[in-house]
C-alpha cells in the first residue's frame, strides 16, 4: 500500500509541478486555490518570495504533508487532534467559505425560497420528490411552487465542499446521518453527480427544476438562484458575508483542541449554517526549517494584509480573535 501511495503521490507531484521554482510549496484543497494564488501573487510582489500551491484535493494534500514532500498541506476537513499528534503536526483555519443551496425554478428570485437542514436532507435523500411537496410549501407559504419532479445535483468527485454539505445535513437530519453520513465522498441516495463546483453550477443552471449546492462565489458568479436557510436558532438567514462571519465568531474556537471545529450549524441568530473553514497543516518539527519559517511568515502576512483580497474573491477572513490565537500557537508549537 505504501508503495502505491508513493507512486501515486510522485505522479501527482510530477503532474502538478510547475515550471518555476518556488521557495515554499503547498498542496491540497481546491476550494481555497484562487485565494492562495492571489495571496501568493501579491506576496511575491511585496517580498520577492514565491509560493507554489498545487490544488490537488484535500485528501491528497494531507498525504503530501504527511509524506513531507511539501512545506504545508491544505484541507477543508480538519484532522482529528489525535491524528495530528501522531504525525507531529499542527493545523489552523486560514480562511472560511460558505455553501449555498441553489435552484433552477422559473419565476423564483434569489433568496426567495427558504430551506431548512431537515428539508434539504429529505430532498437529498430522495424522500421529497416534487417541488410542491407540503414540506417545502410549509416553509414557503407565499411562493408558487411547480408540481414538477426535483432533479437533485451533487458533486461526483470527492471534495471538501461535499464534506461541509453532508456534515451540515448529518447535523440537521437524523435519517441522512444514518443513511449517507458525512464525508468527502458519500453514498448518495439519489441525484446526478457533476464534477467540481463549476460542474454543479453548470448543471443546475441548465436543468429546469433542479437543486444543487455550490460555494457562494460560484452562485454569485453564475447568477444562480440561491435559497435562504433556517439556522440553528430558528431564524431565516440570507447568505451574506456578515452571516458567514457570524458563524465563525460564534464558533467555540478557544476551547477547541487543534482548532478542530467544523463550522456547520453554529449557534447564533445571524449565523449562516453551511459555513466551513479551510485548514493549513504543517509539521511542528519540519525537516526544512527555513521553508517552514517562510511559510509561517506568508500566512501571518495573509492574516494581516490579505483580508481585502479574500473578500474580493468571496472568501471570509478569519475573525481577529481567532487570528490572535493562531499566532500564539505558531509561536509555541513550530520549532525553528
Partner 1 sequence: MAEMAVESDVMDAAGPYDRAKALSAFKLGDVTFYWITRACAISVLLILGGIIISLIIGAWPAIREYGAAFLWTQRWAPSADPPVLGALGPVYGTLITSVIAMAIAIPVGLGIAVFLTEICPIWLRRPIGLAIELLAGIPSIIYGMWGFFVLGPFLANNFQPFMISVFDGVPVLGTIFAGPPSYLSLFNASLILAIMVLPFITAISVDVFKTVPPVLKEAAYGVGCTNWEVVRNVVIPYTRVGVIGGIMLALGRALGETMAVTFIIGNSFKIQSSIFAPGTTISAAIASEFAESDGLHQSGLILLGLLLFILTFFVLAAARLMLMRLEKKAGN
> Which positions touch partner 1 (CB under 8 A)?
1, 3-4, 7, 12, 56-60, 62-63, 149, 151, 156-160, 166, 180-188, 190-195, 199, 202-203, 206-207
CB of 207 to partner 1, least distance (A): 6
- 42/67 with CB nearer partner 1: 67
CB of 180 to partner 1, least distance (A): 7
- 88/183 with CB nearer partner 1: 183
- 169/230 with CB nearer partner 1: 169
* Cell numbers placing 102: 441553489
- 89/114 with CB nearer partner 1: 89
Identify the H or E element spanning 210: strand 210-215
CB of 130 to partner 1, least distance (A): 11
CB of 213 to partner 1, least distance (A): 15
- Among 246, 267, 239, which residue's Cα sits nearest to residue 113? 239
* Cell numbers placing 95: 480562511
CB of 193 to partner 1, least distance (A): 3
Cα(262)–Cα(278) distance, rounded to whole angstroms? 10
CB of 64 to partner 1, least distance (A): 11
Cα(291)–Cα(173) distance, rounded to whole angstroms? 44
Q: Which residues on adjacent β-strands are paired with residue 97?
A: 276
- 154/243 with CB nearer partner 1: 154
Cα(87)–Cα(82) distance, rounded to whole angstroms? 9
Look-up: residue for cell 478557544? 254
- 210/292 with CB nearer partner 1: 210
Classify the C-alpha dihedral 61-91-170-231 as positive or negative.
Answer: negative
Look-up: residue for cell 503536526? 89
Cα(196)–Cα(93) distance, rounded to whole angstroms? 22
- 86/195 with CB nearer partner 1: 195
CB of 222 to partner 1, least distance (A): 14
- Among 249, 253, 242, 240, which residue's Cα sits nearest to residue 267? 249
- 78/199 with CB nearer partner 1: 199
- Would you tell me the crossing angle of helices 160-172 and 117-125 to the nearest 10 degrees? 110
Strand-pair category, 210-215 with 89-104 = antiparallel
- 81/126 with CB nearer partner 1: 126
CB of 199 to partner 1, least distance (A): 8
Phi, psi of 261 (to 5 degrees): -125, 130
CB of 160 to partner 1, least distance (A): 8
Radius of gyration of the chain (CA): 20
**CA dist list (Å): 248 to 168, 201, 223:** 15, 25, 25
Interacting residues of 147 by C-beta distance below 8 A, sequence separation 6+? 130, 131, 132
Amino acid at each position: 500500500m505504501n508503495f502505491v501511495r508513493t507512486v501515486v503521490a510522485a505522479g501527482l507531484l510530477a503532474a502538478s509541478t510547475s515550471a518555476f521554482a518556488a521557495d515554499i510549496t503547498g498542496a491540497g484543497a481546491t476550494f481555497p486555490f484562487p485565494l492562495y494564488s492571489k495571496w501568493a501573487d501579491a506576496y511575491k510582489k511585496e517580498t520577492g518570495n514565491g509560493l507554489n500551491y498545487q490544488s490537488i484535493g484535500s485528501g491528497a494534500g494531507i498525504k503530501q504533508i504527511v509524506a513531507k514532500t511539501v512545506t504545508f498541506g491544505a484541507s477543508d476537513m480538519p484532522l482529528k487532534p489525535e491524528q495530528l499528534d501522531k504525525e507531529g503536526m499542527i493545523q489552523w483555519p486560514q480562511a472560511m467559505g460558505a455553501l449555498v443551496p441553489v435552484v433552477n425554478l422559473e419565476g423564483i428570485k434569489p433568496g426567495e425560497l427558504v430551506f431548512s437542514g431537515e428539508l434539504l436532507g429529505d430532498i437529498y435523500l430522495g424522500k421529497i420528490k416534487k417541488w410542491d411537496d407540503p414540506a417545502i410549501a410549509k416553509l414557503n407559504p407565499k411562493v408558487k411552487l411547480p408540481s414538477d419532479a426535483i432533479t437533485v445535483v451533487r458533486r461526483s468527485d470527492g471534495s471538501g465542499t461535499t464534506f461541509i454539505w453532508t456534515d451540515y445535513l448529518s447535523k440537521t437530519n437524523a435519517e441522512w446521518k444514518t443513511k449517507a453520513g458525512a464525508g468527502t465522498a458519500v453514498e448518495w441516495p439519489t441525484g446526478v453527480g457533476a464534477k467540481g463546483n463549476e460542474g454543479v453550477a453548470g448543471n443546475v443552471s441548465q436543468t429546469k427544476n433542479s437543486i444543487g449546492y455550490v460555494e457562494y462565489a460560484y452562485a454569485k458568479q453564475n447568477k444562480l438562484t440561491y435559497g435562504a436557510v433556517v439556522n440553528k436558532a430558528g431564524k431565516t438567514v440570507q447568505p451574506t458575508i456578515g452571516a458567514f462571519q457570524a458563524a465563525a465568531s460564534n464558533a467555540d474556537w478557544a476551547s477547541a483542541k487543534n482548532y478542530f471545529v467544523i463550522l456547520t450549524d453554529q449557534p447564533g441568530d445571524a449565523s449562516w449554517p453551511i459555513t466551513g473553514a479551510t485548514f493549513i497543516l504543517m509539521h511542528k518539527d519540519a525537516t526544512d526549517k527555513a521553508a517552514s519559517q517562510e511559510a509561517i511568515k506568508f500566512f501571518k502576512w495573509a492574516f494581516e494584509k490579505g483580508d481585502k483580497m479574500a473578500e474580493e474573491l468571496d472568501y471570509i477572513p478569519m475573525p481577529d480573535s481567532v487570528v490572535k490565537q493562531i499566532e500564539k500557537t505558531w509561536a509555541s508549537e513550530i520549532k525553528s
